[in-house]
Amino acid sequence: MERRAKPASVGMPIGEASDLPKGSAMIPAIEILAPNLTKLTLPRVTLWFSYTTPVAIKVGKVCFVSENIWGNTTGKHLHLIEQDAKMSGQDRTNHDTFLQKLENAF
């Protein structure tokens, strides 16, 4: 019989979700925002995925949402991301520039 690890509480600061000391780093959180639209929150970076493709990144307080090079559904996802990230009046990022920002974040 295959043994599986017990799932961690997602999106809660450590200390609230486990017996580790309070004030520790945040456990990564995965949130489904819409069908095929996922948000991954890490301690210093937030990523949004349309299907399995990263389409937006937030590093600190700066958010970069790629221009739409895909199609209608991803376009809807990009709009939802802009609302989720509370971006007002910001332009979308050229896709090549977005890929550079994504690479530089890690």
Q: What does the DSSP assignment read for 11-31?
A: SSBTTTSSSSPTTPPBPPEEE
- Taken in order 35, 68, 75, 81, the sign of the CA dihedral is positive
What pLDDT is recorded for position 87? 82
With contact defined as beta carbons under 8 Å apart, do 98 and 66 qualify?
Answer: yes
pLDDT in tens, the chain (106 residues): 444 444 444 444 433 444 444 444 668 999 999 999 999 999 999 999 999 999 999 998 899 999 999 999 999 999 999 999 988 667 899 999 999 999 999 8
CA distances from 16 to 26, 44, 61, 62 (A): 10, 19, 25, 28
